[in-house]
Each structure stands twice: as structure tokens, then as C-alpha cells.
Structure 1
């Protein structure tokens, strides 16, 4: 599998794609259809109202599709991610690629060129949600891949919401101190391994790691890159669409509201950076890749790399931890389940604290449940059963207050104005020990599960 469309061929061979032949409006209507296939099928919209470019979404609607994307067995996804981080593979530069079959540098209006959807009724306008943003550190030239929601305007400007903890924001602030813009390439319809790499949290990929090389390691062979037409960046030549541009220094504009991963609107307009588009390049028969926020695909894209990061970190502190899962019901952000082979009564609490250690991956987490290794942490029934039969609330839970949170309306509404003005959101976090207690060995038999 060489590219995005090669991946689609694999999914089609697995009967995983449903084709929508009827005309579909990219304003709201498409989101309703995408939601109907959430967690079920990849959707190929062949007839988008007002455009000749089709749209594909829901490619990561199940974990098996992510395993396919990186050439891994289902149970080894996190190991494959961690090995790629530890063993990067250099990219190579080639002269030509199909992404340059169409090059537009004049009179750019992205809303006329590309079928960018408006997903939810209170979204400010239309947003690019699937684009992987490529940038170089202005000092070291180390390459970063990341995601950010991007509000698209009728002119050649995009308002981008960059989290302050992300590498991209650090790159931009460095460029601003140099009194210069930061060049970026927005890759739409990327190889799915590159798409997954763009979601890797900062704690998993450190500042001195080149993320294009990590993406190559995920694929298992070097990415072939072509030089940008208007920017000093190289990007995969077999991409579907690339928007070239620069984040303008010393400029901020209102962005938002936007329906985000938590299923609520990130409503207050914020002063966020601005991208000035210098070129749009694409294949002559380009496919637009879209992501509907607050779907299983959105949860898995952000959640699985975070699981890898949490597992890598927490196992250092508690080696008996076997696996960590961020549950879809918690948007793959807010609820974590930690599986361990318990050897000491203190281990579950240690595992909970290790999971909550304040990193980008843990920042959203509100609840951590520790379970024994007989519990399937990917099965919500199993986890709830463990809580129902192995937890006594007076001794098996603890609460930590005044922890940092993010896009959680209950945290935002309970944080004082003075703290919000300091760009902080405070939340409470809960640990639940749902393991079999070892304090009374003669009673362990009470917890035996029925069997045949």
C-alpha cells in the first residue's frame, strides 16, 4: 500500500466501503450521513453538490482499520507505534509526484476549489478537520506533523486553532521572535500511517524527533517527498491534496465556535493564528478526505496514539501494567482503563497515579479504572462488571482536585473566571481500584467468575 487510495482499495476489498451515489450537500447534510455510518463503514461520497471532487470519511471507524494502515496485528498496534518512534526511517526526495498534477497559485479561493464541509449547525463556518499540518522548527529544521482545526475563509486565509502545548505552536512562537512567518503544508488525503502519526502526542514524540521519519517507520519504507511549489517544505508526492502557505507572524483573528471531539461546541471565539495560502496542489482526480468530529474515527485517531504514550510511561513506574485503553464512551480522552497483573495491594493506586501523570495524553482524563488481567479492557460490559463486583466505594476510590482539564463543559463551568483568564481549566479526577483485594487471601475465592 503506497498511498491513501491504495488504502481505500484494501478497505474496499474487505467490503468496508459504502458508496453514496446521490448528490450530497457538503453543508450539514454530509455530516448527518457520516454520523449514520459512525463505527460501521467507510463512506465514499461520489457526488458532492457544487464540486467535482468526491469525499471519503470514516476510514478509521474500527481499530482493525488502523492495524491495517500500519501493517500490524490488532493486539500489537501500540507496540508498532512505539517501535516506529524509537526507530525512525529517513525520507527521500523525488522530482515528481501526482500531487503536482494540478497547481494553483493565483486567485485562490479554497471554498470554491475544495468540497470542505460544514459539519454541525453551530460551527462558525466550514472547517478542514482531516488535514495533517507539516512544519519545520525554524531553528533546527526538525519536521513536525500535527492536527489543528482550521476555519476556511472565502479568501486565501485560514484561521487555525493551535493548542499552546503543541510543537507547532512552539515552532510558530520561535518564528515570531525571529520576525518571520512559519511555512506550513496542509496534507489532505495522506497515507493513513502519516495521518496516524500526525495525532501522536507531544509526550510520545519529543521535540528532537523528526515526525516525517517516524511516519516512514510506521509504513516500513521511506516516504517519497516532493518539493513545495511556493514553500521550502517537502511533502509526500502521492498525497491527494496539499495546501501550501505560511502562518503569519504577529496576526491573530477570531476563530470558533466549533463542534469538537467531546461532542459540545468549543464556543467562545478565540484570537488564533492565521494561515495565508500561497498554493493549492492536487491530483487531477483528487479525493478529499474528511473527518466528522465526535465520531469513533475521531476518538480512535486521537486515542490510540495516546494509549501508546500512556502505556509506555506508566509501565516505567508500574511494570505490572499490561495494557491501557481510552474508552470510546469517554471520547477516547476522558476515561481510561488500566489492566495489570496485580502482585501487591498498592499497585492499582500506583497505576492510577502513573496514568494521571500530567502529560498531553493524560490532561483530559477524568476517570481511571484499574482492573485485573482477567478483565477485557476493550469490553465495556467486562469493565462495568469488575466495578460492580470488586469495588467498595468507601475504600476503593479516591479523588484528586485542582488538576488541569481541557474541553470538558463541567470543568469549564466549575472553574472560576479568574482562573479561566489565566488560560487554565481545573477539573477533578477519580481513581477506581476494581481489582480483587489481596488483604484477605481466604476470601479471594468469592471473586471467582462462573465458567464451564
Structure 2
């Protein structure tokens, strides 16, 4: 990742940053319909044509393709709506949609965050769009016709897990976008989790003190730009900024928002479904268990209650869900990597790249690549990385000749360049992420690992290298 994509800046003598023009709106991949069509054309889509139950069976099939092609279920039982999953679990698929090389995805997201922070493109509000072709109000069961699946065998109920939730600051009116898990508990009722330290929870707690519900829209099946914008870390998007502007940058034009029917919060005009709702004050009801980012079930507890007031949708929607696992790691990790890189490289220019690994749930472990200009910068990079993304539990720093995307290469660096006695930093009792069961409600020990060679690099740390050749230039029979 680099600071500015358009400037073609060479960083640390190693990388030259490309320039991007991935205008999704003009390429007709700004919504799920366009994405599905592109993936069909590129042979990057699995199509399940057999009737499938949304309770457990869909997830059981989808997990067999984890990390590969996206999966479209064309015949769900008891509904005419199709369902898409796996959109985020393969970076090759995401790169195809954005029309960039896979290795350049973080450059694209980093560039969008930087441009947005300097010159935001405000979303525009419209009265009509695809997401309100059908309007459903004053109905006893507003959620009945939405095919909301149950993934894990021990999940507490059907879950919305990929929706972008939009709320407004109860005092300033600034919009916030985030992804929350919501469990269906009744015809027009859900319970939800709100993580500590996030802007949505801050909004809610201030509204609750006023004895007011917090109005929201729950947007299912949004395009990739909106989804990525909603995962922008708070360190890159202050509470007084509308991070939906990041979606405008990725789109290449202002994001269109849709005026709601029953709440004073907009929905996403190109979404598949918009659920208009409110989070009720002073009421808590059971939520969970729930399959979570960690690969464990989050325990059930009394949590926040959502009252559904209306639903609008497309005439022929595609329901979108995210499977626990690699899909969550990429959905969160790409924007987090971009944000971490920007912040850390601004403090430690030696930093070349950042990767939040799958083994670390895309949330808890960061591999950081540097080109050392002096001894000690690796320790600065460790501390800066923890500061840039508080959920992290482990940061591993390696040299520029180590592939941070390859667990085997990271292990090689640990085996040959890391001395546990002097190359570890322990930070006890630090705030992390409360969904990680090894922490005590989010409090735990963080570890920084220096797996870099000494500077200047002695001969005994010179890595074996070979001549680069192009096999197609040779007559080879296999």
C-alpha cells in the first residue's frame, strides 16, 4: 500500500504505485445485479440450481466453496428470491470487480480513504431508486418475505450479517455506516450487538439518555463501495465525518441515498432491501448464540432491541449474506489494512506493506513489511501498528525480502531472524476486541514480534536468491 495512488510514488526504493480507474458505476458493477452478471461472464460464480433450505442447508453447501468462487443459490425453498454469498472470500474475485490486480486492492482502498479525507464527495439524496420499487408498510410480519438464513447449527435464529446499518448522530445529524449482526426474534423485531467504542454505540447511548429511539436503516445487498466504506476503521473516520463519502470515491461518482418512508435516515438507493427501523431505548432482550469473526459462537446475552417499521425492496432482489470465515476477514481486513498502512507509514516511512492475515481472523494479527533504514525502526512500527488498529493482538515485522502473505515465509523469518529474548514486546492489560474469547471483555496482552535481520544486514543474513526466468521461453515437457 502507498499513501497516494495517483502520484506514482516509489516507496522505500521497492514499490512503484500504480494509478487506478475502476469506475464501478460506468462499468455496471455498482450493484449486485451487475456483479453477478460479471462473475457469470468471468466464470467466477458457482450456481446452485437445486432447491435449498435457508436454515443450515445453504450454509452447509456454501462452506464447501470457502475461499473460491462466489456462490449464487438460484432456488431457495419457499421464496422466489435468489441468494448470493462468498462475494468477499476471494481477493481475486474482488479485484476482478474493481478492475485491478489482486495485489493492488489495498492501494485502491487506501487511495479512496486519503482522497475522501482531503476532499469528500458528499452522497446525494433521491426520492426513488431500485431499493424502493416495492414499499411494504403497515404489515403484521414485515420480515416474512426476506430469506434471512440461519448459518451455524447453534445460532440463536436467522441472522442478518452483511447489512450496512446507517444511523445519524442524534445531536449533529452526521451519518454513520457500520455492519452489525441482527437476529430475527419476531415478525417485526430483532436483537443486535453493538461493539464497545464504535460510533453507532456512541450515537445510541446519547439517544437513550434523551429517552429517544435511534432511527436506522438496515441495507441488504449493497454494492462493494458501500460495504467497504462501512468498514472504514474509526481511526481513519472521525465521529464527525460521514464515511459514506468513501463509497463515492470508490464509485467514481456521488453515492445515491434514498429518502425513507418512516424514519429520518436514508437508505442506499441501489440496495436490494432497505429495512427502516429504530433501536429502542432502555430495552434489552436475548441475542445469540451467533457465529462470529473468531470462528467461535458468541455467547447469548440480553442486548439491544430493533423495532422494524417498514421494508422497501427491488422488484427482483438478490439477498446477500456473508459466511463466517475468510469472507469476514477480507470484508474487514482490506479497509483495515489500508487505514493501518496510511497511519503507520506516515510515522515510519520504512513501512512497505501491511496484511491482516486469515489466521488472525483478518482482525487480530498484522504482518508488516519494512525496508529498514536504521536499527530500531521495527520497534517503532510495532507500536504504531497497534495504535492504528486497536483490535490487533499480534504484530509481526519482517524485512522486504519476506512475503507477508505467505505463512511459510513468515515462519522462516521467525525461525532465522527472531530472538525471543530480545525481539518481543509485551503490552499487558491493553484494550482489544471483546468478541475474542481469549480476552477478558476485550482486555488482554498484546505482543509485538521483531523478525527482521540486523541493520546493516550482515552477510550471514543475506537470503539465497536465484535468477528470474520466464518458463515460456523454454521447450519444457511435463
Same-fold status (TM-score > 0.5): yes
Question: What residue in structure 2 maps to residue 383 of structure 1?
Answer: 410
Question: What residue in structure 2 maps to residue 418 of structure 1?
Answer: none
Question: What residue in structure 2 maps to residue 403 of structure 1?
Answer: 430
For 1:338, which of 359, 362, 368 is the aligned residue? 368
Q: Is the 8 A contact 2:136 2:142 kept in 1?
A: no
Structure 2 CA distance for aligned equivalents of residues 49 and 284 of structure 1: 19
Question: What residue in structure 2 maps to residue 290 of structure 1?
Answer: 321
Structure 2 CA distance for aligned equivalents of residues 140 and 150 of structure 1: 26
User: Is it true that 1:81 corresponds to 2:112 in the alignment?
Assistant: yes
For 1:318, which of 348, 351, 356 is the aligned residue? 348
- Relative to structure 1, the CA distance from residue 133 to residue 96 in structure 2 (aligned partners, 3 Å threshold; closer, same or farther) is same
For residue 333 of structure 1, report the CA deviation from its aligned partner.
1.3
For residue 131 of structure 1, report the CA deviation from its aligned partner.
0.7
For 2:52, which of 24, 42, 65 is the aligned residue? 24
Structure 2 CA distance for aligned equivalents of residues 157 and 26 of structure 1: 19
Q: Is the 8 A contact 1:193 1:215 kept in 2?
A: yes
Secondary structure, counterpart of 2:307 in structure 1: strand
For residue 341 of structure 1, report the CA deviation from its aligned partner.
0.9
For residue 376 of structure 1, report the CA deviation from its aligned partner.
1.8
Q: Is the 8 A contact 1:349 1:433 kept in 2?
A: yes
Structure 2 CA distance for aligned equivalents of residues 342 and 444 of structure 1: 16
Question: What residue in structure 1 maps to residue 307 of structure 2?
Answer: 276
Deviations 1:48-106 (Å, cap 9, x if unpaired)? 11222111011112223334455555422342332343232122233321222211112
Question: What residue in structure 1 maps to residue 401 of structure 2?
Answer: 374
Structure 2 CA distance for aligned equivalents of residues 83 and 306 of structure 1: 13
Unaligned runs of 5+ in 1: 413-423
Secondary structure, counterpart of 2:187 in structure 1: coil
Question: What residue in structure 2 maps to residue 148 of structure 1?
Answer: 180
User: Is it true that 1:438 corresponds to 2:455 in the alignment?
Assistant: yes
For residue 33 of structure 1, report the CA deviation from its aligned partner.
1.2
Question: What residue in structure 1 maps to residue 379 of structure 2?
Answer: 349
Q: Is the 8 A contact 1:110 1:154 kept in 2?
A: no
Q: Is the 8 A contact 2:232 2:243 kept in 1?
A: no
For 1:447, which of 446, 452, 462 is the aligned residue? 462
Structure 2 CA distance for aligned equivalents of residues 144 and 55 of structure 1: 27
Deviations 1:252-280 (Å, cap 9, x if unpaired)? 2221111101001111x333221111111
Farther off after superposition, 90-99 or 235-244? 90-99
User: Is it true that 1:299 corresponds to 2:329 in the alignment?
Assistant: yes
- Relative to structure 1, the CA distance from residue 72 to residue 85 in structure 2 (aligned partners, 3 Å threshold; closer, same or farther) is farther
User: Larger helix proportion, structure 1 or 2?
Assistant: 1
TM-score, reference length from structure 1: 0.91
For residue 337 of structure 1, report the CA deviation from its aligned partner.
0.6
Farther off after superposition, 5-14 or 18-27? 5-14
Q: Is the 8 A contact 2:144 2:187 kept in 1?
A: no
**How many correspondences in the alignment?**
434
Farther off after superposition, 391-400 or 192-201? 391-400
Q: Is the 8 A contact 1:377 1:383 kept in 2?
A: yes
Root mean square deviation of aligned Cα: 1.8
Unaligned runs of 5+ in 2: 1-27, 468-478
Secondary structure, counterpart of 1:225 in structure 2: strand
Instruction: Map 1:7-406; keep pairs closer than 5 Å.
Output: 7-70=35-98, 72-74=100-102, 75=104, 76-86=107-117, 87-267=119-299, 269-293=300-324, 295-357=325-387, 361-363=389-391, 365-406=392-433
Structure 2 CA distance for aligned equivalents of residues 42 and 256 of structure 1: 27
Structure 2 CA distance for aligned equivalents of residues 80 and 303 of structure 1: 16
Question: What residue in structure 2 maps to residue 421 of structure 1?
Answer: none
Secondary structure, counterpart of 1:395 in structure 2: coil
